[in-house]
């Protein structure tokens, strides 16, 4: 038998809580973190998938947000597969680090923004590895991906992600914040699942997440929803999910 431990028992953990917030507020906190980490130094910021499209009416102007917060001293780089508005460098985030890094100037970034991009990449784990390589130690990455969203090929649509799925891909990152957001134009509502003020990242949060975002209808309600659709739908399920995005802010471990 092992001797009884003389160490004090661990303090009980607080309750799991769902905290209302907004995407705008979370972005303000992200920029606050960036300002704290760079101090008086000019920040280097990379946006992955920066090309401006007509359909992006609900997307934030990251170049403008960075300039508003840090002025002309900030160095902003827009990266995209194709040339276009707001694109500084044409390259594939899934490409070889030996060719990608020189195209981006060689210096490490303080913040990498990757919003609504990973689901369109053929090799998201490779993209995640490149994002980690492009960050300086302690640098931040903001990643937003869909958990549930209609198929949208731009140029194609391959993947969906959970918070813990992103944690597996970004293994070198410490998750400092995570939240869920919706996708409707003009809707800025977001939610964080926390315990003791910190993001709850363990699988035990799954039951809370399921209850928040999944709706199960009875048979008659299911038939009514299908009947109101503009085009024919097959009654293969009575469970529905809204458009829901997973957002994480990670810090590269030193």
pTM attached to this predicted model? 0.87
Domain containing 69: what range? 16-196+242-252
Q: How confident is the model at residue 231 (pLDDT cuts 50, 70, 90)?
A: confident
Mean pLDDT of 39-54: 91
Both tokens of residue 70?
């840090």
Is residue 225 situated within a structural domain? no
Could you report the per-residue pLDDT of 74-104, keeping only the tens digit for each? Answer: 999 999 999 999 999 999 999 999 999 999 9
Is residue 210 situated within a structural domain? no
Q: So what's the pLDDT on residue 205?
A: 79
Which range (44-48, 110-114, 165-169, 217-221) has the least confidence? 217-221
Could you report the per-residue pLDDT of 94-133, keeping only the tens digit for each? Answer: 999 999 999 999 899 999 999 999 999 999 999 999 999 9
Is the model's pLDDT at 183 over the cut of 90?
no
Is residue 45 situated within a structural domain? yes
Is residue 139 situated within a structural domain? yes
- Select the more confidently predicted residue: 249 or 198: 249
Q: So what's the pLDDT on residue 10?
A: 54
When mean pLDDT is compared over 1-10, 163-172, 239-248, the highest value belongs to 163-172
Per the rule left: phi > 0, alpha: psi between -120 and 50, beta: everything else, 182 is beta
- Select the more confidently predicted residue: 27 or 152: 27
Both tokens of residue 196?
């003791």
Mean pLDDT score across all residues of the chain:
88
CB 43 within 8 A of CB 74: yes
Is residue 206 situated within a structural domain? no
What is the number of structural domains in the chain?
1
Phi, psi (deg, nearest 5) at residue 17 = -130, 150
- Select the more confidently predicted residue: 13 or 222: 222
Is residue 122 situated within a structural domain? yes
CB 149 within 8 A of CB 244: yes
CATH number of the domain bearing residue 26: 3.40.50.150
Taking each helix axis from N to C end, the angle separating 23-38 and 62-70, rounded to the nearest 10 degrees, works out to 50
- Select the more confidently predicted residue: 146 or 55: 146
Is residue 215 situated within a structural domain? no
Phi, psi (deg, nearest 5) at residue 205 = -75, -10
**Sign of the four-CA dihedral 32, 34, 38, 43:** negative
Is residue 43 situated within a structural domain? yes
Sequence-distant (6+) residues with CB within 8 A of 119 are: 145, 146, 149, 157, 158, 159, 160, 161
């Amino acid at each position: 038998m092992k001797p009884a431990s003389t160490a004090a028992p661990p303090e009980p953990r607080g309750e799991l809580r769902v905290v209302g917030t907004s995407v705008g507020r979370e972005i303000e906190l992200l920029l606050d973190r960036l300002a704290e980490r760079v101090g008086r130094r000019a920040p280097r910021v990379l946006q992955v998938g920066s090309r401006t499209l007509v359909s992006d009416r609900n997307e934030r102007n990251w170049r403008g947000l960075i300039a508003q917060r840090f002025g002309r001293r900030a160095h902003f780089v827009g990266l995209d597969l194709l040339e276009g508005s707001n694109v500084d460098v044409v390259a594939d985030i899934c490409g070889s680090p030996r060719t990608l890094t020189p195209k981006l100037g060689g210096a490490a970034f303080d913040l990498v923004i990757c919003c609504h991009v990973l689901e369109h990449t053929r090799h998201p784990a490779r993209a995640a590895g490149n994002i980690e390589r492009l960050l300086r130690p302690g640098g931040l990455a903001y990643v937003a991906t869909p958990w549930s969203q209609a198929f949208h090929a731009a140029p194609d649509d391959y993947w969906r992600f959970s918070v813990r799925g992103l944690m597996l891909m970004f293994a070198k990152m410490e998750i400092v914040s995570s939240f869920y957001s919706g996708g409707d134009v003009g809707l800025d509502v977001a939610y964080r699942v926390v315990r003791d003020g910190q993001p709850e990242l363990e699988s035990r949060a799954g039951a809370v997440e399921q209850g928040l975002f999944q709706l199960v209808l009875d048979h008659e309600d299911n038939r009514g929803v299908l009947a109101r659709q503009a085009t024919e739908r097959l009654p293969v399920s009575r469970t529905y999910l809204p458009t829901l995005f997973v957002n994480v802010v990670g810090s590269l471990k030193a």
